Structure 1
């Protein structure tokens, strides 16, 4: 069976068991055991109804565990619930799993890991590889998360914003390991957007598609980071861009603007420009104004300073930057870029070096170090920086 299809069955099976009375940790464990059995049996004897098979076997695994740990009375009640073999009703409670995995009692890291495991259908090893941590460490993290939400029942609508934040974090985790977390986040967000018809779910999907479309051009042949203005735009995925723009336009038409739609609109303007010089920076500043109004995010204000520097000149960008806390992550990198454009390469070189020391990733650190070295080399040769 296709791996993506099988992974899609996992959250559906967990949801069925939860609806029958199993709590989430027990249901998830039972489905994982059934999945192991499926991988052993299905190649030689594929079922006619894979979902029904997975649910049936998982429910029996759950009952086996319940018999070992509960009283005779409880066992009999659970056994009485077992349905006759046959097709499983098509009710899909996967949306509840999204909300459960993004429960406010969980940390962001635990919510992400649990979402990838229960909704994404990834194995513990795949999640561990993606996060570059030992499998045992990830197993402990997932177990703690499952214990935290044991017995939680979703009797009221969950918070879509929390689920979207978790998916946004999954997308931003990068692309390490044998599982592409960006693709996985897009797959899950696409599913959530279809289930909820929520305009911000659509906005997040559009944002992911538009950012991911630029991925092939983000690094060069040596694996070095390539900034947006220097990227080879012929390498951008035009089909993903077209889909992202279409999804965004449909979301914006509902006239309920949110932060992900605003971010996606900015990404769409970058994607629409044939060259970096043709970017509509004035309109990008206007969208950053909307984003700041919606979120009052320091990160949005920092990015707005860059856009202002492009639209109105480096001095205007520096004025916008001066309103922000210098301790803000990547503040020095933005300041360096603006000072270089303002004709102060010595100060820019110092700031690039400082930014490199605080860079959160190795590719970003190396890129900033090269920028500092480039300017220092120019200063050493007495090259006059263009104003």
Structure 2
């Protein structure tokens, strides 16, 4: 049984049912029943029109469930007559499902979970494991999300920017459990890019590919974080970098700059540098200036301070940092880095230790603790033992 085929067909089948009048939760249940039926029947011979078969079976499952529910007799009268089995429409409705799962009425966490469930075809257990929460908790989150979007009609254009933010949230979760969410986000973004001609969709895909290309070099054999400047660039995925840069260049040529294209341009400059010392920091600062103009995000300004520190010297970086709220995530770590480059090892060590206490995860906390210890060792080297 080709489970990848079933996953690829599921979003389109689900969208057909919703368009025919099924509410989201009931449609999703019917599609799952149809998938179970496919797993039972298809090993003996897969139908020629697999999508059409799934649509027909799922619609029958929905009608059966509707007729069996006496509380829905009134709505049953409004349900379309069952269509005759046959080839499914060639219209691809999956794009509308992206919009539905990223509906503004959903919280970001719910939108991510629903996207992975409905568009990605992941099981509730897989999503729960990826987010390190109990399966029952994730099931409740997905159920609430389904109820929220039930009744939302698929007859209006959705917000592409919201869909992209949801996909980027998925990507940034990275890897945990038996689901590689970064790879899943890239797959879903590729799928979206095939359905919508939008430079920001291309920009997000390029950004994901460029970040993902460095994945193998981000951690050492003991699991510790390896900073970008210290990574073995020979371990970077050059094919993914080339693809990402090619997609980005095509998007930028359309002269409709957006934040994901600007972020991808920064990632491309890092990926294109043969060594850390050859990084074009001046151009990176210029791209951060574009990002600030587009988003006015404090986090973008924080990252810009690092780039300014590289391009114009640590004092310039500290001056840019001084204008930002010290409560920003990673503000203390950036200050520590810039103070070290400025030569104040005492202050830098103190700030690294402080940043370690604020770190959001163990890997980052361990990295910052090691940085503090390294500077303390430089400040107070142990005396060599006397010669015998």
TM-score bracket, shorter-length normalisation: over 0.9
Once the two structures are superposed, residues 42-99 of structure 1 have per-residue CA deviations (whole angstroms, 9 ceiling, x without a partner) of 2233222221221111111101110022565654553x52111111111111111111
Q: Does 1:357 align with 2:352?
A: no
CA distance in 1 between counterparts of 2:312 and 2:239 reads 32
* Secondary structure of 1:89 counterpart: coil
* Alpha-carbon spacing, 1:155–1:85, altered in 2? closer, same or farther (3 Å): closer
1:382 is displaced (CA, Å) by: 7.4
After TM superposition, list the pairs within 5 Å mapping 1:21-36 onto structure 2.
21-36=21-36
Looking at structure 2, the residues matched to 49 and 8 of structure 1 have their Cα atoms a distance apart, in angstroms, of 14
Match for residue 267 of structure 1? 267
Residues 330-349 of structure 1 mapped to structure 2, 5 A cutoff = 330-349=330-349
Classify 1:38/1:378 alpha carbon distance in 2 versus 1 (closer, same or farther; 3 Å): same
For residues 258-290 of structure 1, the C-alpha deviation after alignment (integer angstroms, 9 at most, x for no partner) is 000000000000000000000000000000011
Sort the Cα spacing of 1:154 and 1:51 in 2 relative to 1 into closer, same or farther, 3 A. Answer: closer
Q: Which residue of 1 aligns with 2:386?
A: none
Contact kept in structure 2, 1:20 and 1:81, CA below 8 Å? no
RMSD (Å), alpha carbons? 1.4
Matched, 1:162 2:162: yes
Q: Mark the CA change 1:72 to 1:330 in structure 2 (over 3 Å): closer, same or farther.
A: closer
| Aligned residue in 2 for 1:192 | 192
Where does 1:103-114 land on structure 2 (aligned, <5 Å)?
103-114=103-114
Contact kept? 1:340, 1:348, Cα under 8 Å: yes
Does residue 81 (structure 1) correspond to residue 81 (structure 2)? The answer is yes
Q: SS of 1:52's equivalent?
A: helix
1:9-24 aligned at under 5 Å gives the runs 9-24=9-24
What are the ranges of 5 or more consecutive residues in structure 1 without an aligned counterpart? none
Alignment partner, residue 116 of structure 2 = 116
Gap regions ≥5 residues in structure 2: 384-388
SS in structure 2 of the partner of residue 293 of structure 1: helix
Whether the 8 Å CA contact 1:302–1:321 is kept in 2: the answer is yes
Counterpart-to-counterpart distance in 2, 1:280 and 1:73: 66
Q: What aligned pairs does 1:99-248 form with structure 2 within 5 A after superposition?
A: 99-248=99-248
Task: Assess if the C-alpha contact under 8 Å between 1:350 and 1:372 holds in 2.
Answer: yes
Q: Cα distance, 1:355 vs. partner?
A: 0.7
- Hey, what's the Cα distance between the residues in 2 that align with 1:197 and 1:295? 22
Q: Quick one: distance in 2 between partners of 1:157 and 1:53?
A: 28
Q: Helix, strand or coil for the counterpart of 1:143?
A: helix
- Structure 1 outlier segments of 4+, above 6 Å: none
CA apart distance, 1:205: 0.5
Q: Could you give the per-residue CA deviations for residues 267-322 of structure 1, whole angstroms, max 9, x where no partner exists?
A: 00000000000000000000001101110011110000000111111111101110
Distance 2:293 2:368 in 1: 31
Q: Report if aligned partners of 1:15, 1:92 keep a CA contact under 8 Å in 2.
A: no
For 2:134 and 2:107, locate their aligned partners in 1 and report how far apart those are by CA, in whole Å.
19
Note closer, same or farther for the CA distance 1:221–1:45 as it changes in structure 2 (3 Å cut): same
Distance in 2 separating the partners of 1:106 and 1:184: 21
Question: How many pairs align?
Answer: 382
- Counterpart CA distance in 2 for 1:201 and 1:251 is 9
- 1:368 match: 368
Q: Which residue of 2 aligns with 1:278?
A: 278
Q: Determine if the alignment matches structure 1 residue 68 to structure 2 residue 68.
A: yes
